[in-house]
Amino acid sequence: MAKRQNVLGINGIEGGDGPNTEEYNQIDPNILDCFPRASFPVDLFHWREDIRVLSPVYRAGREVDRRLRERLRGLSEQGLLFFSRNQIEAYTACVACNLDTALDDPNLTWEEKAGVFIGELARRQDAVYAHPMPQELDGLTRALSSFCVYVVEDSRRMGTVVQHLHCDLGPERRRINGSLLALAVYMEMHRGDIIIEMLETVALGFFLYDIGMSRVSPMMISRIQQLTPTEQRTMREHPRMGLEILNRLNLTRPELAEPVMQHHERLNGSGYPNKLSGDSIGHLGRIAAVADSYCAMVTGKPLRQGLAPINAAAELVGKERHYDQMVCRTLVRFLQTIPSSQQPS
């Protein structure tokens, strides 16, 4: 396609049979409704069928008045409004405000939709941890419901999600990474035998597994120096604090309580808070323990780098007195299906 620039400094695109869909995508009216009302995040183009040209009609960031908004929506309803995929990140950020709309958007690849999901789930999870109230919980539950339905439709989608996790192993991502990895391991262990209603409950349990840490002082969590014995005792109480939060929210199902209470328990009884051992530790507690420990190992800290994924997985497999080896081996097999190019070197 040849380009020509107008007085606004926006390139108009001369087409042949139509816009190149690898470079320019249509914008659906429902997508347009996701954009901020005051200004839009991407440049917009009108496909002029009479002269076979994509003509610029809006530059990103400029004010949108009522007349312009109505005009753009009209073009969108006719299938004549396009944006450049060079601005896909800004476009995706807006679509993320409505997961159902994002899932139906043909302009987004599954890789891009996975990024939308992770961002939205992390936002919803952070909201619940910051303010564990029914309204925030409802937002997380609805987002998880959409996510579970989508990944069950195609098991390969969960692998793409885990690729994204390994692209960002920063400390601020440890919570969401641990939750999603636990869910991935659960789905792998129950492949072919997943009931969507149960999966949604299990997913919520994994997303709330560390909520007791919201009761621990941020200064204690970020402390570089070793904690005092008193602080260590306080830290080890966070699973019980998490259970108190669940009870206050009337979340009494065992699938929710088990990851919260048992993600620090170890098979040989050396864990906390109840020093459970062997069969006293449930299936979901064992998965949460492996996922949480793996993410702790690969996540960097101020005084040490995170381990390479292969080294962290090998270390878990070598600790058979602490971790369920069936869960560990499932994690290893699953990680082996993730392209190494997506993992940190």
Q: E strand or H helix at 92, and its extent? A: helix 88-95
How many CA atoms are closer than 13 Å to the CA of 316, on its beta-carbon side?
Answer: 29
Q: Pick out the chain residues at pLDDT < 50.
A: 1-16, 341-345
99-147 per-position pLDDT tens digit: 777 778 888 888 888 888 898 999 999 999 999 999 999 999 999 999 9
Give the model's pLDDT for residue 18: 56
- What residues form DSSP beta bridges with 82? 26, 45
Q: Which residues of 192-201 are buried (b: 16+ CB within 10 A; e: fewer)?
A: eeeeeeebbb
Give the model's pLDDT for residue 230: 87
Distance CA 162, CA 117 (A): 12
Give the model's pLDDT for residue 228: 87
Using an 8 Å Cβ cutoff, are 260 and 212 in contact? yes
CA distances from 93 to 87, 102, 113, 180, 322 (A): 10, 10, 11, 20, 41
Give the model's pLDDT for residue 340: 59
Distance CA 177, CA 185 (A): 12
What domains does the chain contain, in order, with CATH numbers?
Answer: 2-96 (no CATH), 110-215+235-339 (1.10.3210.10)
The pTM of this model reads 0.81
Distance CA 149, CA 223 (A): 39
Question: Burial, 319: exposed, middle or buried (Cβ in 10 Å; 0-12, 13-18, 19+)?
Answer: middle
Give the model's pLDDT for residue 203: 98
256-288 per-position pLDDT tens digit: 999 999 999 999 999 999 999 999 999 999 999
Give the model's pLDDT for residue 51: 84
